[in-house]
Amino acid sequence: MNGLPTGAVIGVSLIALVATLAASEVLVRGVGRLARNLGLLGGLVGLIVALCADSPEIASSVSAVASGSAATAAGVVFGSNIFNIAVLLGGAALAAGTVRIPHAALVVDGGVAIMVTLAIGLVVLGALPIPLGLALMVVVFAPYVVFLVLRTSTIARLPLPARLRVLLVNASRESGVEGLELEAELEAYNPAAESRHWWPVGLMLPALLVIVAGSILMVQGAVTLGERWDVASVLVGVLALAAATSLPNAYAAIRLGLDGHGAAVVSATFNSNTLNLIAGIAVPIVLYPALRGAVPPTYLVWLVGMSCLALILLAGRLTRRGAAILLVAYAGFVAYAVLTA
């Protein structure tokens, strides 16, 4: 886009953003329909829906690193994850008044998210070798996927310590409820909710292609504007692209919160952050080692700190006061990023 006037670059970027967000919604609805038709377990549905909702962030990160802007790529993921903690959880709590989640589900979902964040974050900072960091990620995330796939009755029969087994059984039961809530939310906006039509599934591939193409245009536009306006690449990713590509998640979280599905909001937020790191950084870093050192170490501190703050606030219940604390913390991060970029 270097040859286009600034106004045209802005216009193309906005069109790409709107198309990407719309395609993301189509993709999520297609996954919801596929899950319903195949009878997938609720916990697995939640994870797949989170992955599809993250497709704009992931595609933007991969596009940025492939085009040679590693700082923008890493900034998208870290900025999006910090945005998610503040705006998805805070927005849902402000809209609904309070967000609650059972203790077991919070420990499992939040614990996995923080451990994956530390493993991948330390790799990006260069504090861990890539193979070791990816191995730690697999050790944490693979059992979590197995946990989501297994039925609650199967988990109850596993030869595990009693306390751990009770925790996992309770978390499994709750993850199934969360998945059903997500399906119900998707179907509520589908006029053919009681049927098993496959046409939404057929739109998934075109939607994915639109997301990829739109993300490439957004990244190119943002990088071009950043160069013309003398804005650091990492700032372009961590603020502009991160917030823009996370809008579908924010809208969905507020909608879920208003409908009383607070636990689904929390699970979707932490799963979204986990998948952002895995698909947006862990996979690309194998082919693009330039991602190492692409963001300041303090970004990881902000992300882990805000994740822990959210867990503390959610341990009881997240009220509007807690939401305000998260949003103020995010504003502090924005100010810090601008001042240090």
Q: What is the mean pLDDT of residues 303-331?
A: 95
Q: Which pLDDT score is estimated for 178?
A: 66
pLDDT digits (tens, 9 = 90+) for 87-116: 999 999 998 899 988 899 899 999 999 999
Instruction: Read off the pTM.
Output: 0.87
Q: Which pLDDT score is estimated for 307?
A: 96
For the chain, give every domain's residue range: 6-340
Two structure tokens written together for 161: 């310590």
* Of residues 242, 232, 267, the one with CA closest to residue 253: 267
Two structure tokens written together for 160: 């595990």
Distances from the Cα of 243 to the Cα of 62, 77, 194, 214, angstroms:
17, 10, 35, 15
d(CA 304, CA 307): 5
Helix (H) or strand (E) run with residue 84 in it: none
Residue 191 has pLDDT above 60, yes or no: no
Gyration radius (Cα) of the chain, Å: 19
Q: Which pLDDT score is estimated for 325?
A: 96
Q: Which CATH superfamily is domain 6-340 in?
A: NCX, central ion-binding region (1.20.1420.30)
